[in-house]
Structure 1
Amino acid sequence: MSGFLGLGLLPLLLSLLLSAGANGKEEEKENVYIVYMGGIPLLTSEISIEESHSRVLASINPRIGGQRANKSLIHQYKHGFSGFAARFSKDEADAIRLKEGVVSVFVDPIYELHTTRSWDFLQETSVETDSGRAAVAASFPLSGGSDTIVGLLDTGIWPESESFRDSGLGPIPSRWKGICMKGSDFSSSNCNKKLIGARFYNLEEPDPTDSPRDEGSPRDDLGHGTHTSSTAAGIPVMDASFYGLADGTATGGSASSRIAMYKVCGSDGCPGSAILSAFDDAIADGVDLLSISLGASSILRPDFDADPIAIGAFHAVAKGITVVCSAGNDGPKAGSVVNAAPWILTVGATTIDRYFESDVVLGGNRKAVKGDAINFSKLKKSASYPLIYGASARLNSSSDDASASHCDLDSLDGTKIKGRIALCKHFENDSSKILKIDELKTMGAIGTIFVDDMERLVASSYISFPVTEVTTEGAKEILEYIDSTENPVATILPTITVKKYKPAPEVAYFSSRGPTLQTSNILKPDIGAPGVNILASWTQNNDSIVTPSGEKVSHFNLLSGTSMACPHVAGIAAKIKSWNPSWSPAAIRSAIMTTGTQKNNENVPITTDSGSAATPYDIGAGEINPTGVLNPGLVYEIDAKDYLQFLCNYGYTTDTITKITAIPSGFECSKNSSKDLISNLNYPSIALSNFTAKETRVVTRAAKNVGDTETATYVADIKSPKELSVKVVPDKLQFSESAKIVSYQVFFSASSTQLKGEYFGSITWSDETHRVRSPFVVKTAD
């Protein structure tokens, strides 16, 4: 308390206490709020921005003005946009909302992380399923990109990882203005010509009475940031594996790009105030693109002007920076996709053709039952261990058969479990498998078989304890065996790596799905990419991973999530940028979306994990094609005024948009602005909502020729469900030296009066060399 009184604020403190006593209540609790003040006017200096923030604070309550303002302020945003994060009360937040120049005020949210062979698989799939386009792209270099700077907002980085060595790289690009921040266990020498920048942010809410402290570090203690960084832009590392599994060469999507890490996440999550600070710094530092594998919960998703990622990405894209974000891990629930602003490239997760098999061997000369999981079982390979179904080990007094069959906590009799392998069902809403295993181990179980259809192909990591997961079909065979004998026995085999698994890719069960609830007239996610059991670099922090007995901490780890899919796309986007330095974020996204792959390695349409056909709500424009993206033929550009009109159509007022963009006076929203007109944003996909059988809806698009020749003719190919009539006018696009951009219209009408639900199709423009595909979805009013 002495530090507070030492500021000479004792009279103010006494007056506040007296005031609280007079009102009969204590001073209102303070929280950290973000005050977003939009774009920075052209002639505004940094000093005047900082002063404007202090003035806003002082204007609502003198107690947080002057010297105290420096204590209340946590972050100030002054490079790419204006605003600040500070601690004050709800009443003060309400007062700030009314101040001139303020766009929004919201409580600092805590966002969550969306947490080798994948690159080989992408290359092979693109060749197998689209040989013509792959052959064209083969003439384009797949290396390069040393002048491209990939920024990541994540948990930090482990700089000693082999993935971040700088051998063979030239000088750091002169436009780079970033720094390598010193931390408690990090110095400038940890950066090099590969890892060219590292920043960290105060992830704890500071006590306003504390003096400034030099805490923290860009170092990654959790592993997530190291994993995503090496996936996006790590150099090739030979003989990589996770204790012998997934062995091969680990490499990033753009192995010669530079990396800049912005540590915004800790063990308690990712504060929005830190995320906005990282965006602000990254814009000033000079990154070319940002990879962001985190986001809001799909349950409590903020609007665009109260979402730190949407805000930061808007200003980054305005500066020419491509922003790639994960779609979230709340699938397969419909409407669960996050990071869905149209200026963001949103990525869903798919599987690759690698499977981690851990089979169950049954007694009685029965065939092995296929299972999948990551374990390094030391059990004998012959079936010699007693096997019991959870329901047969029920605690008579306190559980029912259903709870026991799932091995729910406190439902089993330990005396019946001890020394046996337990077979347990598992549903999505059960207690976690780890909690179940901890209890089973305490009871003396020697292994566990989980029955789980949803998570098949996503191999959970159990390390030393023998655990595997089987499908309901496999469990049926195990239960039939248990019922056939008085003394059932089994064993669980250690995991092996199975390559060339088919079918692949499939949409991962956890990958968040469309439609976006913010505006179903934009189709999200945009694209799918590998996000299941991805091998990439890891920290050497002994607490960051459970190691098999007698082993050292692995330099690599296997993780799943849209967090892992996002850096795959970021790496490919960096490669596109390196060969097309003048391309805008919209052009890069268009190249990625319009060349997406639709078929799997069996040359049939990609499916979800349940076996159903994948729709654009599941996978957007398809699986990313790392070769086709380099020669897309046509792209769909979106400039600043298009995004402004989107904001008008979404419902923001001219006054609010003027503040957000800091554009000169004179901009006005169209009088006919409406959410239906969002469909006219020049996006590489098309989405219509509230469609009725009695109307004809017209959508406009403009395509830009970026092919090898200025003269080209593209013809439309429409694939539409029978319930819809879809017509393109004109159905032939003629490009020339004087006509590099050509517009067309798409007319949607019903061919059936019984129109209800969601209908999917595509429009593909082809010149016999390129195929430029745009998926569409038409969603009826009911």
Structure 2
Amino acid sequence: MQNQPGFVSARPQIVLQLHTTHSPSFLGLHKNVGLWNVSNSGKGVIIGLLDTGINPKHPSFNDHGMPPPPAKWKGKCEFNYKACNNKLIGARNLVKRAKSPLDGDGHGTHTSSTAAGNFVDGANFLGNANGTAVGIAPRAHVAMYRVYGVDVISISVGVTAIPPYEEIMAIGAYRAIEKGIFVSCSAGNSGPSSATIENGSPWILTVGASSTDRKISAVAVLGNGAEYEGESAFQSANMSRKLLPLIDSGYCEALVSMDVRGKIVLCGIMGSLSVFKKGQEVKKAGGTAMILRNEKEQGHTTFVTVHVLPATHVSYIDGLKIRNYTESTSTPVATISFKGTRIGDKHAPVVAYLTSMRQ
């Protein structure tokens, strides 16, 4: 990792106490001590976001404990009902075909709540990952689309790397920097191959994601006693502990020619179908459950997907071991054990901070 361009530092992460109910704690941010306390949690700062809009009724934009907007704020709220408050202080629509700043995609609501969402108690994901959801600057004000008069611009969109003098995002960010507005952009969702970072101009703070030490655990249990932990948002309380026939179906795209009824189906993550649609195909063909395995390119990266049937997503190495098991016996069997939310990992995650910004 140290040899990669843009690397600054990394450190092993310790196991903490109890996306976003856990991220602040994982990063060492605590309400009454440390950096959060010293920074007043972003109090007085206005964060402007260029995104798909915002849902003002989302609980992350409640204004409990929020002061009024700073006197310098001159922005507008274009919602045709009383939706803005001391948290969401501005919303402008810059899309000609849209009628309001209301989020029709969900991305803008997601990114703005991650940046500055207020405290929301009792948040969970299908009963998992229970906790208090909060943004990184919970006392900062939010303005969607409108960037005039803000202190920080946060942008989670981008294009494949092109020269800065041809990239609109880079040019706009440079103009903002000239006016003293801090610009933070996402590094994109590509990788891990080289030259996949987006928004990499040297005047932008380019932020790359890492994993955390929390999983919504689903364990593949094989007939030979081996267990391989994966992830799944589908946490089935009705999944039998009885070992069921296990079949390797390749990429789960030609199940009409295979008898998968009542079986657990091993599926490769590659192919033309999305992860969600692979599960649909397995269920439609009569499969009981699915084990989704990575290819080498995905490595250890797994996703907490809302599958349509009991499933788990395992790493490339574990997927190889499961596949080898199916080939080593004439009657491979397996089941899936759902463990729910689990914090702490024997493989301590590493938090890497990637920045292209020059001080």
Q: What TM-score does the superposition give when structure 2 sets the normalisation length?
A: 0.83
Q: Distance in 2 between matches of 1:228 and 1:504?
A: 27
Q: How much does 1:463 deviate?
A: 3.6
Q: How much does 1:350 deviate?
A: 0.9
Find the counterpart in structure 2 of residue 501 from structure 1: 345
Structure 2 contact 276–307 (Cα < 8 Å) conserved: no
Q: Which amino acid aligns with 1:330?
A: S
Q: Distance in 2 between matches of 1:620 and 1:201?
A: 29
Deviations 1:175-198 (A, max 9, x none): 10100013xxx52x1000110000
Deviations 1:36-70 (A, max 9, x none): xxxxxxxxxxxxxxxxxxxxxxxxxxxxxxxxxxx
* RMSD after superposition: 2.8
How many residues are aligned here? 335
Q: Secondary structure at the match of 2:338?
A: coil
Structure 1 contact 414–444 (Cα < 8 Å) conserved: no
Q: Distance in 1 between matches of 2:42 and 2:322?
A: 53
Find the counterpart in structure 1 of residue 85 from structure 2: 192
* Structure number with larger C-alpha Rg: 1
Find the counterpart in structure 1 of residue 242 from structure 2: 383
Q: How much does 1:431 deviate?
A: 4.2
> In structure 2, do the counterparts of structure 1 residues 504 and 223 end up closer, same or farther at CA, with 3 Å as the change threshold?
farther
**Counterpart selection for 1:406 from 239, 251, 254:** 251
Q: Distance in 2 between matches of 1:367 and 1:472?
A: 16
Find the counterpart in structure 2 of residue 448 from structure 1: 290
Structure 2 contact 299–316 (Cα < 8 Å) conserved: no
- Equivalent residues in 2 for 1:25-104, closer than 5 Å: none
Q: Which amino acid aligns with 1:369?
A: Y
Find the counterpart in structure 2 of residue 159 from structure 1: 56
- Equivalent residues in 2 for 1:348-363, closer than 5 Å: 348-363=208-223
Q: How much does 1:489 deviate?
A: 2.9
Structure 1 contact 351–504 (Cα < 8 Å) conserved: no
Is residue 167 of structure 2 the alignment partner of residue 324 of structure 1?
no
Deviations 1:548-604 (A, max 9, x none): xxxxxxxxxxxxxxxxxxxxxxxxxxxxxxxxxxxxxxxxxxxxxxxxxxxxxxxxx
Structure 2 contact 302–314 (Cα < 8 Å) conserved: no
**Counterpart selection for 1:173 from 67, 70, 75:** 70
Is residue 126 of structure 2 the alignment partner of residue 229 of structure 1?
no
Structure 1 contact 387–423 (Cα < 8 Å) conserved: yes
Structure 1 contact 448–467 (Cα < 8 Å) conserved: yes
Q: Secondary structure at the match of 1:313?
A: helix
Q: Secondary structure at the match of 2:284?
A: helix
Q: How much does 1:494 deviate?
A: 3.1
Q: Secondary structure at the match of 2:312?
A: strand
Is residue 46 of structure 2 the alignment partner of residue 149 of structure 1?
yes
Q: Distance in 2 between matches of 1:139 and 1:352?
A: 19
**Counterpart selection for 1:490 from 319, 334, 337:** 334
Unaligned runs of at least 5 residues, structure 1 = 1-115, 127-134, 205-214, 263-280, 391-404, 508-526, 529-618, 622-681, 685-782
Q: Which amino acid aligns with 1:491?
A: T
Q: Secondary structure at the match of 2:171?
A: helix
Q: Secondary structure at the match of 1:190?
A: coil
Find the counterpart in structure 1 of residue 227 from structure 2: 368
Q: What TM-score does the superposition give when structure 1 sets the normalisation length?
A: 0.40
Find the counterpart in structure 1 of residue 266 from structure 2: 423
Q: How much does 1:439 deviate?
A: 2.6
Find the counterpart in structure 2 of residue 246 from structure 1: 129
Q: Which amino acid aligns with 1:291?
A: S
Q: Which amino acid aligns with 1:147?
A: G
Is residue 26 of structure 2 the alignment partner of residue 121 of structure 1?
yes
Q: Distance in 1 between matches of 2:96 and 2:190?
A: 25
**Counterpart selection for 2:94 from 201, 217, 241:** 201
Q: Which amino acid aligns with 2:337?
A: L
Q: Relative contact order: is structure 1 or structure 2 higher (C-alpha 8 Å, sep ≥ 6)? A: 2
**Counterpart selection for 1:290 from 148, 153, 159:** 153
Deviations 1:197-240 (A, max 9, x none): 00112254xxxxxxxxxx42211132211111111111111121
Q: Which amino acid aligns with 2:53?
A: G
Find the counterpart in structure 2 of residue 216 from structure 1: 99
Is residue 167 of structure 2 the alignment partner of residue 307 of structure 1?
yes
Q: Which amino acid aligns with 1:683?
A: R
Q: Secondary structure at the match of 1:200?
A: coil
Identity in percent: 39
Unaligned runs of at least 5 residues, structure 2 = 1-20
Q: Which amino acid aligns with 1:156?
A: G
Structure 2 contact 184–205 (Cα < 8 Å) conserved: yes
Structure ranking higher in helix proportion: 1
Q: Which amino acid aligns with 1:282?
A: V
